[in-house]
Amino acid sequence: MLADGSNALVYYKDQLEKMAPLTGELSLPGWDSSYRKEDLKALFEEYSHVSEEKLWQNLQYFLEAVIPVAEESGVNMAIHPDDPPWNIFGLPRIITCKENLDRFLKLVDSPANGLTFCTGSLGCTKQNDIYSMIDEYSKMGRIHFMHVRNVKILDDGSFEESAHFSACGSLDIPRIMKILHDNGFAGYVRPDHGRMIWGETGRAGYGLYDRALGAAYLNGIWETLDKYAKE
């Protein structure tokens, strides 16, 4: 529970270090609870031979097969960053930072091969300058989908998902929207995750009310940018 009384998804390093996914007791967003402990153990053992370079090879194989078809069909593919953008439970992650995003876009250098730029995923570490990244990739036309949400980075590098309003977290949401507006971004934008507020129950991060507030907040910023850009 956050200081404002809401429930949200969080990443506390000290707690995560004590978690063991193979015990069968771990529950995470998107976690397939149908796996038995023996199934998870077998999957982890099989995946233990997959290095970061192997992930890159697999991804390139996929893109080289799919992107030409996407081009023919007028479809834009948009990869979502790893969340959080670092290795977890000993498993490698590669869509994590500018260097790796640059590498990804060059695997198959096509306008159809683009990004779902999630400010919460990439912005939960101060090592990522998400403002310059959004500026560069939106100018290139390689951002096809924006997930705009806020996170509060804690002193030890942990983070909490927060309200979209800039003062509630570590990200400057109006600055993000202004970069997109200045660059003529015409792709899709959504508020993405939200807290559980006003007595709503369910899995934290997927509440309806706070995401609706986030959508209204982003629309208000965009309307303001539109209005004063024309004056």
Active-site choice (97, 147, 168, 217): 147
Active-site choice (118, 137, 210, 217): 118
Copy the structure tokens of residue 4: 């404002």
Angle 46-97-118 (CA atoms, 0-180°, nearest 5)? 95
Active-site choice (82, 192, 210, 217): 192
By DSSP bridging, strand 113-118 and strand 77-79 are parallel
Active-site choice (35, 131, 206, 209): 206
Burial zone of 55 (CB within 10 Å; 0-12 exposed, 13-18 middle, 19+ buried): middle
What torsion, rounded to 10 degrees, do the Cα atoms 27, 30, 36, 38 define? -100
Active-site choice (39, 47, 61, 80): 80
Q: Answer yes or no: 164 catalytic.
A: no
Active-site choice (144, 164, 193, 217): 193
Picking from 21, 96, 90, the residue whose alpha carbon sits closest to that of residue 56 is: 96
Q: Answer yes or no: 83 catalytic.
A: no
Give dist(CA 161, CA 193) in Å, integer.
Answer: 8
Residues tagged active-site: 80, 118, 147, 192-193, 206
